[in-house]
Amino acid sequence: MIRLLHTADWHIGQIFFEYDRQEEHLQFLAWLKLQVRETAADALLVAGDVFDGPNPSAVSQKMFYKFLREVTAENPQLQVVIIAGNHDSAARLEAPNPLLEEMCVTIRGVVRRTPDGAIDYPHLMVPLRKGNEIAAWCLAVPYLRQGDYPDAENYGQGVGKLYEELCKIIPDKTKPVIAMGHLHATGAEISENDRSERIIIGGLECVPPDTFSREIACVALGHLHRAQQIAGRTQIRYAGSPLPVSFAEKRYRQGINLIEITENDVKIERIAFDAPVKLLSIPDKPATLREVLAAISLLPDGAITARSPYLEIKVLMKEPEPSLRRHIEEALNNKSVRLARIAAVTPENKYERKTLTCEELQEIHPMDMALHVFRQRFGGEEMPDAMKTLLQGVIQETEQ
């Protein structure tokens, strides 16, 4: 039997709406070290997006390499395999490999080419050992960019060919195979409005689940932040992000996957991680400013600490409110939350849009145009009289 821990999408160094998350990442890494020890894991698989950007700060890099040194020193049997994600700099992540390999840490970020231009497939194949014996083979495939995969009609086919070629050259087919990847599998659920999950319009970079041969014992994926299995195939798993990286993920179940592979079975268990800082949205649906202020009054009083939740406020705007932020900040005074985002939401726009010619635009009075834009922006609502008066004064001064 070989026992693996599968995690991904750490996004170390993320600044969450101007808040530094260093302490949160330190707590996760401390918890992860504990899980490695308690599960007696043979290997730790990190499926990409170690850092939140290609140029991580010195503090972020120190946190990462300190974790690798400590977890391998405390667990001599542990092997660590890391692949680069789309947020990582592949070359930067791979650079310390000569030193890290002394600690049984293998990083794959770059798809190398041989002198004749062919893909160096053996470089992406990592033996997983248990003691002195090879217990399994890991296909450590990083996030693939254009030119990283074999020639094909589209991205999905190219990725499929790469995994197919890797499976062909496995030295010992009696050993289980674990495939790693950082990609968007067709049929996976994604976070709503989450830009950190790089989804190409039209699904041009989607990879179908049948890309992975049934002979592969387990597929450990990263990139999407919701932990899930794909297309009913229990062995194809996303680990999900250990910390929610957007408010769209506030109800996700963060954690890691424990994978146990025996000669005849693959067992996958979810180990939950209780994120130290919660994400809170009030109200649940956009509401008027008066309703928002009433909801804020119900929040707990107290000092702001490192564990105070991040707060998103959703306000339904039927007309401009210049003092919106001031009202909200005053209401939050002495509340034990950290304001991260104010989302001003306009009503559903059912006001008919009309395409005008240049001649028609020239004939429209500026006030009529302003009224038209106001109705479009605020769902058909009429501009308040006070605003009309102010705007009329501006128009008259401009004309003079």
pLDDT in tens, 180-232: 999 999 988 876 655 555 554 445 678 999 889 988 999 999 999 999 999 88
What is the helix (H) or strand (E) element at residue 69, kind and residue range?
Answer: helix 58-74
Cβ count near 341 (within 10 Å): 14
% of the chain beyond a pLDDT of 70: 91
Residue type, 21: R
pLDDT in tens, 229-277: 998 889 999 999 999 999 989 889 999 999 999 988 999 999 999 999 9
pLDDT in tens, 307-328: 999 999 999 887 778 889 999 9
The residues spanned by each domain of the chain are: 2-272, 279-345, 358-399
**Which fold would CATH assign to domain 2-272?**
Purple Acid Phosphatase; chain A, domain 2 (3.60.21)
Residue type, 178: I
Residue type, 311: L
What is the helix (H) or strand (E) element at residue 316, kind and residue range?
Answer: strand 310-316
Arithmetic mean of pLDDT over the chain: 89
Q: What pLDDT does 199 receive?
A: 52
Residue type, 268: I
Separation CA 143–CA 275 (nearest Å): 26
Tell me the pTM.
0.84
Q: Which range has the worst mean pLDDT, 38-42, 95-99, 235-239, 351-355?
A: 351-355
% of the chain beyond a pLDDT of 90: 70
